[in-house]
Chain A
């Protein structure tokens, strides 16, 4: 699934070498959130699509994108008494396999919603909405958005979320109470370099096979945690820069994660003007560039926070999309790359999965 600023494109492949591109669905809608829910007997595609005119909405498809359903009245709406109105769905995230009907939505203004019917309808997670920190949360450049939801793969009570620019919060009681989870993460834009909250976290990834292991791309800074987000430490050795947006954990192998660094906050382009994914295979002790098959000519495009992803195959496929409309994929865990799609609108979100 390729979410772009002007609609959704679907790329299908039997061998992860040749790709057939379809679309756009939802033309002229900005698709910031896509998900492939493979926990169901029939895989479900989920899309958050924002119309410049008609506002945001959530759709799902149970026939791999041939038709789309939109819940009458809207799947995702703030209760009137909150005084809030949905600006955008930033993240649609299926929960663990033991909760096959639970899907989380992270939205702007920053809030978490939960669905217990596979994404047909959502309810506000009030424990986070009522958090005493929330009135002090400040928006990042993309608005005050809850853009990342990281459910625990086997413990339904544990979920971690990330808010720009409030930082990470986690619950261990199914969403009733939430604790700031930013210990060790530096806030470069605040007088106190290590505040309890207020960090501009860009993305957090959890290793499904080793759920306490997490990787975090901050607004300046790459971190890891060995205790499910309780504490963070810098893990930047080998990276050419510590700024960037996405972070992806390997779907099976502990210790392995992928990032796409940019030079700096003030220079949001790839280091050395080359498209390169960086991978750690030692839990963040070191990172190494992966660029075999990627363009050798200068490239200046960024990769947004949800535009780097892995599939669930063995060996894992890794994919990224640029704001220049290119999608590249690797069927061998990042060792070699090839074009998946070119000349698309700016790519905002990307997800890949094996489906029957």
Chain B
């Protein structure tokens, strides 16, 4: 990871969309002047569109049973997609514990 990058951790179920990579580095400079989780996902929508569409729907809402963590905090408990991100952060996409039998 370069000094200006953050890391996106990708769950096993979505690594088919990242060429098998469990971690994707993203240059924070690519996220605009006020980098946020939403800006990060907008960036992924252009660089890894299938990864992004499995995390958000067409209206760019986080899918109901997908959680995005900034470090150890669920962004739903922070500022949702307005949550700021910075170089050095780790953003993890994790499926919710749900799904029934």
Q: Which residues of A contact B55 (CB under 8 A)?
A: 54
Q: What's the least CB distance linking A264 to chain B, in Å?
A: 27
Q: What's the least CB distance linking A111 to chain B, in Å?
A: 12
Find A53's partner among B49, B53, B61, B63 (CB 8 Å cutoff).
B63
Q: Which residues of B contact A142 (CB under 8 A)?
A: none
Q: Which residues of A contact B58 (CB under 8 A)?
A: 77-80, 84-86
Scan A71-85; emit 1 where CB is below 8 A from any B CB, else 0: 011100111100111
Contact A83 B57 (CB under 8 A): no
Q: What's the least CB distance linking B45 to chain A, in Å?
A: 9
Q: Which residues of B contact A51 (CB under 8 A)?
A: 13, 54
Quick check: is B90 within 8 A (CB to CB) of the other chain? no
Contact A85 B98 (CB under 8 A): no
A51 CA to B65 CA, complexed, in Å: 10
Find A54's partner among B13, B49, B98 (CB 8 Å cutoff).
B13
Contact A55 B57 (CB under 8 A): yes
Quick check: is A52 within 8 A (CB to CB) of the other chain? yes
Question: Which parts of B26-73 form the interface with A (CB within 8 Å)?
Answer: 49-50, 53-55, 57-59, 61, 63, 65-66
Quick check: is B19 within 8 A (CB to CB) of the other chain? no
Contact B57 A86 (CB under 8 A): yes
Quick check: is A294 within 8 A (CB to CB) of the other chain? no
Q: What's the least CB distance linking B63 to chain A, in Å?
A: 5
Given contacts A70-B50, A72-B49, A73-B49, contact A53 B95 (CB under 8 A): yes
Contact A73 B53 (CB under 8 A): yes
Contact B50 A55 (CB under 8 A): no
Contact A55 B63 (CB under 8 A): yes
Given contacts A72-B50, A73-B50, A74-B50, contact A53 B57 (CB under 8 A): no
Please name the residue on chain B nearest to A70 by beta carbon.
B50
Q: What's the least CB distance linking B15 to chain A, in Å?
A: 12
Scan B1-34; emit 1 where CB is below 8 A from any A CB, else 0: 0000000000001100000000000000000000
Given contacts A72-B50, A73-B49, A74-B50, contact A54 B66 (CB under 8 A): yes
Please name the residue on chain B nearest to A5 by beta carbon.
B100
Please name the residue on chain B nearest to A83 by beta carbon.
B59
Given contacts A85-B57, A86-B58, contact A53 B50 (CB under 8 A): no
Quick check: is A28 within 8 A (CB to CB) of the other chain? yes
Q: What's the least CB distance linking A68 to chain B, in Å?
A: 11
Q: What's the least CB distance linking B76 to chain A, in Å?
A: 15
Q: Which residues of A contact B65 (CB under 8 A)?
A: 52-53
Q: What's the least CB distance linking B5 to chain A, in Å?
A: 24
A84 CA to B60 CA, complexed, in Å: 11
A83 CA to B57 CA, complexed, in Å: 11
A40 CA to B3 CA, complexed, in Å: 52
Please name the residue on chain B nearest to A73 by beta carbon.
B49
Question: Which parts of A63-112 form the interface with B (CB within 8 Å)?
Answer: 70, 72-74, 77-80, 83-86
A86 CA to B57 CA, complexed, in Å: 8
Q: Which residues of B contact A74 (CB under 8 A)?
A: 49-50, 53
Contact B99 A52 (CB under 8 A): yes
A84 CA to B63 CA, complexed, in Å: 13
Q: What's the least CB distance linking B34 to chain A, in Å?
A: 22
Q: What's the least CB distance linking B50 to chain A, in Å?
A: 6
Scan B78-101; emit 1 where CB is below 8 A from any A CB, else 0: 000000000000000001101110
Q: What's the least CB distance linking B10 to chain A, in Å?
A: 12
State the B residues within 8 Å of A (CB): 13-14, 49-50, 53-55, 57-59, 61, 63, 65-66, 95-96, 98-100
Known: A53-B98, A86-B58. 6 other contacts (CB 8 A): A51-B54, A52-B100, A53-B96, A73-B50, A78-B58, A84-B58
The 4 tightest CB contacts between A and B, nearest first, are A85-B57, A54-B54, A53-B95, A52-B99
State the A residues within 8 Å of B (CB): 28, 51-55, 70, 72-74, 77-80, 83-86
18 cross-chain CB contacts under 8 A:
A52-B98, A53-B63, A53-B65, A53-B96, A54-B66, A54-B95, A55-B53, A55-B57, A70-B50, A72-B49, A77-B53, A77-B58, A78-B58, A79-B58, A84-B59, A85-B57, A86-B57, A86-B58
